[in-house]
Structure 1
Amino acid sequence: MYDIGTRQRALSLLRSGAKNATVSRTLNVPPGTISSWKHEDRAKRGESPGRCHRPLCPRCDGRELDEAAYAYLLGLYLGDGHISHPRQHRVPSLRITLDDAWPGVQREAMAAVRTAFPDNTASWARKTGCRDVKVYSKHLVCLFPQHGPGRKHERAIVLEPWQQEIVDAHSWPFIRGLIHSDGSRILNWTEKTIGGRMKRYEYPRYFFTNTSDDIVRLYTDTLDRVGVSWRSRRRATGAHDVSVARRDDVALMDQYVGPKH
């Protein structure tokens, strides 16, 4: 419909920085045609609208992975994360549900997602009393092969060798992620009568609670690796409570984990 001169003039305007709508009005050419010419021109010149490249995957493409951020994110995922693939979306999404009582944890989680998935856009999904940090990627299952049907405590949760190497090298971020998801730091207290006066003593303690035997084992094995002693008991519901209470061990946890914030 349009002669070569009109098309060349349009491309010249577009390359100079003119907007599609401006070129459309100037030349009396439909916006869709202008957009198509611009797309074809940029493709011929080795460019493309939007992203300059497709998101890469550390497992499939060898992209560098920030292992400390990933170890923290893996801990969050094992506690409060899940991967879903709704029918209306072609790409699966990772969601980690985080309580609004801990905005600092929410910020750390978002930072970890953006660091581990630098080519993807992370966002928030608001819920009552909490928020989901969310990211879409075709390679989620590559990085979280523990994904599968059913609840985590109803299936085996075993780290791949490459994941175990990362956890071994970055044990504290992994522990921190687990505590930030399914753990807490609390103050226990007791009262004793000394010299006829009642005195109150407070002492901090870390708890981690999870129903999956495998996830609890990953946590306690990692505590063993960093030299933290622990005790565990099983609730009537089947969940495990893992406690870190000795003063030196709590001090070490405070150094690398600390209270939720």
Structure 2
Amino acid sequence: MTGIATFSMAGFDGVALKPTEVDLDRVSLDGVETAVVDYEGRERVPSSERLADLARGTDLRVTTPVRADGFDPLGDDRLVARLPPNVGRVVVAGNPAYLSANERSRAIAPRLGAARERSPGAWVGTEGVERIALAAGGTQFELLEPTTLREVRALRAAGFEGEIAVYAPVVFSEDEDVLLDALGGYVSRRGSVAASLDTATDATGAAADGTATDATAAGRSRSVLLSAIEGFALAGPPETIDERVDELRAAGVDVLVGYPARGPTVLGH
């Protein structure tokens, strides 16, 4: 299996795959119960044949932004029609970073509802649309955030009995530069972090717009990113990550999907 990307899943129920980072033609999901293929633009959606092949023996799901052309249940849905029958969906509003201005302007609520009607087994991504996602029903697919533990506990205390899945970037390191190289770009796309970066200044006093988000980040922007990594990712030594995983499970998380931000072989430990 030389040259094949494989995944160690210790402590996790599933793995997230980013087509821009992992060659899906050279991925083995042997022993992986659940996998989610992230959406990073229409040109990055894997072929139907490859998706069907990856789904053999694995609960494979594809993130499908309901506002994006090709996945819009109230408009152009030609990419949905190409999904193999053995591949599930995660219906999401869609990160603005991967949507055109026209796509971003489309109403979310009716599209999530229509997508769930067509795909009753779909998971529903909750980022920024938590109430709409709950109304749509199905497995609630949360991105790990600083408030995740509190919100999951509140849902369970209120009597919510549905399935809750959480997507969590994972990096087993305490090195600041390693963390920024692996996770800086990811956390910078979260809404609250982007807003903080917009007002931050680096060590030279320059505006943060366009500033580096990797290990070269400096000053206030670097502090913002490192603080965000603590809340939006599972990062640190193995024992710290194990403790956070245990907290998530105790709070009521049913499915924990890990995104191996440093590469496919370093999710487990």
Q: TM-score range by the shorter chain?
A: under 0.3
| Richer in helix (by share) | 1
- Structure with higher Rg: it is 1
Structure ranking higher in strand proportion = 1
TM-score w.r.t. the length of structure 2 is: 0.23
